[in-house]
Amino acid sequence: MKEFTYTITDPEGIHARPAGELVKAAKAFESAIKLNKEGKSADCKRVFGIMGLAVKQGQTVTVTVEGSDEEAAAQAMENFFKTTL
């Protein structure tokens, strides 16, 4: 299992557009990818789960990746967060 933490810098937090882009990026991998915030967790392959976390600017999230392609998936997710959120 791979994991990393990231503090959201986007002024609008994780809203609909980046949530949709996150789902698209996550679906490219077989691994299970979870977004965790303050004890709550969401599947990164489901947009409503991500939106349900209501992540705002300045909040820190943890992304966990587990599966056969976790190394590549974790790197891709980390790059996505740094460039998009």
Q: Which residues are catalytic?
A: 15
Q: Can you list the positions of beta strands (E) in 1-85? A: 2-7, 32-37, 40-43, 60-66
Q: Are 18 and 8 in contact (CB under 8 A)?
A: no
Cα–Cα distance, 32 to 7 (Å, whole number): 21
